[in-house]
Amino acid sequence: MTELKNDRFLRALLKQPVDTTPIWIMRQAGRYLPEYRATRARAGSFMDLCKNADLACEVTLQPLERYALDAAILFSDILTVPDAMGLGLYFSEGEGPRFTNPVQSMADIEKIGIPDPEGELQYVMNAVRTIRRELDGRVPLIGFTGSPWTLATYMVEGCSSKEFAKIKGMLYDTPTALHLLLDKLADSIILYLNAQIAAGAQAAMIFDTWGGSLTPATYREFSLRYMQKIVDGVTRENDGRKVPVILFTKGGAQWLEPMTETGCDGLGLDWTINIAEARARVGDKVALQGNMDPCVLYASPEVIRQQVADILAGYGQGSGHVFNLGHGIHQHIDPEKVGVLVDAVHELGKQYHTTA
C-alpha cells in the first residue's frame, strides 16, 4: 500500500478531520490547459488519447503540476462502456459523441453483452495502473463512470440530445425494454468500477449528467434505482482503506434525500442549490461536493475569492465538504483563474477546520 502524502480529499468524503477544505475540479484535465491541447494533438484523436495509457496519465497529471489540487481524476470518458458494448463510439467535430449502432429495440438490447473490464476495457485499467504508479501517493486517484440512465440516453438517442425524445418514448411506451438496458448497464458498471478500484482508483464517482431531465417518479425508477444497485455492488474497501463513492445528478437538487439513502459517501451539487440548504437537508449523513458556478472563473480574482468565501461559509464548520465546481470547467477559462480558486479554497478553508 502506497502511503498517501495528501489524503484530505478521502478524509473529507468520510467526514474525518482535515486541516483545510480539499478541492479538485471536474474536467480539471482538459481543453482549458494549453499543455492538454498539445498532448491531444499528438494523440491524433480523443479516443486515441483515452486508449494510450502513457498519454492518459500525462494529461491526468498536468493540472497537478500547475495547481495544489487534492485529487487526480482518471482521464477517460463516460461512454467507454457503451463503446465496449459494440455501439461504435465516435466524435464529430463540434457535435460531440455519436454512435454508429444506437439501441432502438428490445432485440437490440437483448444482443448487448456485458463488457470485460480487463478485455474490451483493459485500456482504461492500464491507464489507472499507470496513473497510480506515477502519482506515487501524491494525491488520491478518482475513478468514475456515467450513470446507467445517462449512458442509456446516448445509446438510445445515438448522440447528445436536448429533448430525449427517443429514450423517453421508450421509457413511457416500452419500459420493460429500458429496464433491461439499464440493468445490463448497472451490471457492467459494477464490474467496471470494481476493476478500476482493483487497478488503483481510491474513490469512485457516478456522473448522472442527465438525471435532471426526469420527473420525480421516473428519476427514482429509471435513474436512482440503478445507481442504488451500483452503490450496493461496488467495492467499498481496498488496499487497507475505505473507497468513498460520490453520486452526482446534475439538476438533481430536489432528490438529495433519496440520493443520501443509497448509502453513498458523498453527493455532488450543481450551482442551482445553496450549499447551506443542502447541508441542512442531509445533515451529517453524507459529505457534499461542490458547488461554484463554473462561470465565476470568468470574473476577477477578487470576485472568485468572494464566491469561494461565500460557499465555504455556507457549508460552515467541520469536515465533509469537498470544494468543486457545480459542473465541468469551461474550455475558455484562463488557467490563471484556476490557480486563484485553488489557493483561495485552501487559504480561506482553514478557519472551518480544527487541525487534523
Which amino acid type is present at position 282?
A: V
Q: Which residues are annotated as a binding site for substrate?
A: 27-31, 77, 154, 209, 327
Phi, psi of 262 (to 5 degrees): -65, -20
What does the alpha-carbon distance between residue 211 and residue 219 come to, in Å, rounded to a whole number? Answer: 6
* 31 included as an active-site residue: yes
Q: Which of 36, 67, 154, 315 is catalytic?
A: 154
DSSP character string of 281-328: HHTTSSEEE--B-GGGGGS-HHHHHHHHHHHHHHH-SSS-EEB-BSSP
Cell numbers given for 175: 419500459
What does the alpha-carbon distance between residue 200 and residue 203 come to, in Å, rounded to a whole number? Answer: 9
**Spatial contact of 112 and 183, defined as CB atoms under 8 Å apart:** no
DSSP-derived 3-state class of residue 268? strand
What does the alpha-carbon distance between residue 9 and residue 21 come to, in Å, rounded to a whole number? Answer: 8
Report how many helices (DSSP H) and strands (DSSP E) the chain contains, helices first: 16, 11
Size (the chain), residues: 356
**Spatial contact of 64 and 139, defined as CB atoms under 8 Å apart:** yes
What single-letter DSSP state applies at residue 166?
H
Q: Which of 8, 11, 27, 305 is catalytic?
A: 27
Cell numbers given for 272: 442551482
- Short-list 100, 107, 248, CA closest to 181: 107
DSSP character string of 76-142: --TTHHHIIIII-EEEETTTEEEESS---SHHHHHHPPPPPTTTTTHHHHHHHHHHHHHHTTSS-EE
* 154 included as an active-site residue: yes
* 27 included as an active-site residue: yes
Cell numbers given for 154: 446516448
**Spatial contact of 42 and 55, defined as CB atoms under 8 Å apart:** yes
Q: Which of 7, 8, 36, 40 is catalytic?
A: 40
Q: Which of 77, 83, 265, 270 is catalytic?
A: 77
Q: What are the catalytic residues?
A: 27, 31, 40, 77, 154
